[in-house]
Chains A and B, each alone.
Chain A
Amino acid sequence: SAVISQKPSRDICQRGTSLTIQCQVDSQVTMMFWYRQQPGQSLTLIATANQGSEATYESGFVIDKFPISRPNLTFSTLTVSNMSPEDSSIYLCSVEEGTRADTQYFGPGTRLTVL
C-alpha cells in the first residue's frame, strides 16, 4: 500500500489561531480524504479532497472552518481555523488505493490540542 505521512504529528495551539496539517503520499492517488477522531471516539469524515477542484464537505463541516487544498495527486493540506478547545482531536488523512476501488489507507494522524 501507499506510504502516507502527515505533518505535524502533534501540536498544542492557542484558541483563535489556525493550524495547517499536511498529508503526503509516495504515489499518485485520485482520492484523498480528511477525517477527525475525537478522544475515544470513532472516525468522522470531514471532506473529500479533490485534485483541481474544491473539496466536498460532509454535513456539519464548512470550508471557512476547515479549508482544504489539493494542489496535486500526492499532497493535500487541511487547515483548522479559529480554533477552540472543541477542535482538540486527531486529524487523519486517508487515500484510496487505485488498484482496489474503495479501499482506504490512513496516515499516522495529527494530534491537536487547543488550549
Chain B
Amino acid sequence: GENVEQHPSTLSVQEGDSAVIKCTYSDSASNYFPWYKQELGKRPQLIIDIRSNVGEKKDQRIAVTLNKTAKHFSLHITETQPEDSAVYFCAAIGNSGYSTLTFGKGTMLLVSP
C-alpha cells in the first residue's frame, strides 16, 4: 500500500521566518495530497490540498508544491506567526480503494515570538 514519509518531525522557527515541511510518497498512482493542521486537543483541520494535475497551489501565506516525478510534496508557510504553532500532517490517497488517506507521522511546528 501507500507509504508517506514526513520530515522534519519537529521544526522551530522565529516569528516572521518561513517554514517548510516535506513529504514523500510511494504510490505513483496517488493523485491527491492534503495537508492538515492539528492544534493541541483539537481535530485535524484541512488547510490546503493539491491534485496531481498541478505543480503548486497558494492560499495567502500557505503554499504547497508537488513533484510527481520525484514523488514528493512540500508545505511552505511564509511570515510565520505564533498561532501557526501546531502539528502538521501530510497525506496521500492510497490504493486500497475509495478515498483512503495515508498520513505522514506529523511535524510539530513551534513559532517563537
In the assembled complex, A92 has its CB within 8 A of some CB on chain B: yes
Q: B98 to A31, Cβ gap below 8 A? A: yes
Closest to A1 in B: B46
B-side interface residues, number (CB < 8 Å): 23
Q: Compute the total of residue contacts between A and B using a CB distance below 8 Å.
A: 53
Cβ-neighbour of B99 out of A58, A101, A107 (below 8 A): A101
In the assembled complex, B67 has its CB within 8 A of some CB on chain A: no
Q: B100 to A42, Cβ gap below 8 A? A: no
Whether A103 contacts B49 in the complex (CB less than 8 A), given A43-B44, A109-B43, comes out as yes
Interface-facing stretch out of B11-19, B55-63, B71-79, B103-111? B103-111
- Taken residue by residue from 19 to 51, chain A's Cβ proximity to chain B (1 for < 8 Å, 0 otherwise) reads as 000000000000101000000011111001000
Q: How far is the CB of A76 from chain B (nearest CB, A)?
A: 14
